[in-house]
Structures are given as C-alpha cells and as structure tokens.
C-alpha cells in the first residue's frame, strides 16, 4: 500500500472529504500544487479551480472550488473552501443558470460591494464553464 496523508475538504456548509489519500492537487493562487505524504509545511490561498484527489495511482475524485485556503503539514492537507462541488455534478444547465443569476445580480447591483460580489459570481461561473463536459 502506498503512503498516504489525511485530506480534509471543508466548506461553509459541511465536511466534504475526510480520508487518507495518496496525493492531492490543489488550485493555489500562484498555480496548482501537488501534496504528497511528508510534504513541507505550507499555507496557500486558493483560486477557483479543481481539486484532484489521487488514490490507487489515479484521480479518484474531483471537486470544483471557488476559492479558500489550504494548510499542508507532513501528514495532512486541510482545504477550507468558500464553496465546493463534486465536478461530476457540474452540468451545462447548472452552470448556465448560475451564470444567468450572477449576471442578473450584477445588473441590479446598487452598491460597490454588491457589484464586487456579483462580479465574483460571474467570474466563478465562467471558470466553472471550462470544466463542464462537452
């Protein structure tokens, strides 16, 4: 059996993943980075993208995340995310509806804060779209 590290992916709503994994690849702000057992200590912000979870020498699970933080130790990787969705659940209809809602919120925004939030939602929907199966 390959060496493992403990992965936890936690969103605002719930604990999504808590399991031993061989490797995880995380969308850091400065680029994707891989985490293996015995990794050096690391703290990173995340950008919208996909977390790839490896077991059995291959990708076992994939999650789309909208951002957050990752804390890495030699034995664990804890990912705190704003939002996470199993990549398999991203459908064209879901992403289209999400983009339309974000655009509607952007058009109706009255304050700078509302515009910033809506623009972030539009950007997340655009990134999500790149991961939807054709």
Domain ranges of the chain: 5-87, 91-129
Q: Span 5-87: which CATH code? A: 2.60.15.10
Which residues does 90 contact at the CB level (< 8 Å), separation at least 6?
Answer: 64, 128, 131, 132
Tell me the per-residue pLDDT of 74-117, one tens digit each, with 9 for 90 and over. 999 999 999 999 998 888 999 999 889 988 988 888 999 989 98
Q: How far is CA 129 from CA 7, 54, 98, 107, 118, in A?
A: 26, 23, 10, 20, 17
Alpha-carbon span 50 to 3, nearest angstrom:
23
Which pLDDT score, from 0 to 100, does residue 133 have? 66
Tell me the per-residue pLDDT of 30-68, one tens digit each, with 9 for 90 and over. 999 999 999 999 999 999 999 999 999 999 999 999 999
Q: pTM of the full predicted structure?
A: 0.87
Which pLDDT score, from 0 to 100, does residue 1 have? 59
Strand, coil or helix: 90? coil
Kindly give the pairing relationship between strand 76-81 and strand 5-10: parallel
């Amino acid at each position: 059996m390959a060496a493992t590290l403990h992965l936890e992916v936690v969103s605002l709503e719930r604990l999504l993943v808590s399991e031993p994994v061989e490797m995880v690849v995380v969308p850091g702000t400065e680029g994707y980075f891989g985490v293996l057992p015995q990794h050096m200590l690391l703290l990173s912000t995340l950008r919208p993208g996909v977390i790839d979870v490896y077991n059995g020498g291959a990708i076992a699970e994939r999650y789309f995340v909208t951002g957050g933080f990752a804390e890495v130790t030699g034995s664990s990787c804890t990912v705190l995310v704003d939002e996470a969705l199993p990549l398999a659940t991203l459908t064209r209809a879901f992403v289209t509806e999400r983009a339309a809602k974000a655009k509607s919120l952007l058009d109706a925004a009255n304050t700078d804060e509302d515009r910033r939030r809506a623009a972030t939602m539009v950007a997340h929907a655009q990134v999500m779209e790149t991961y939807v199966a054709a």
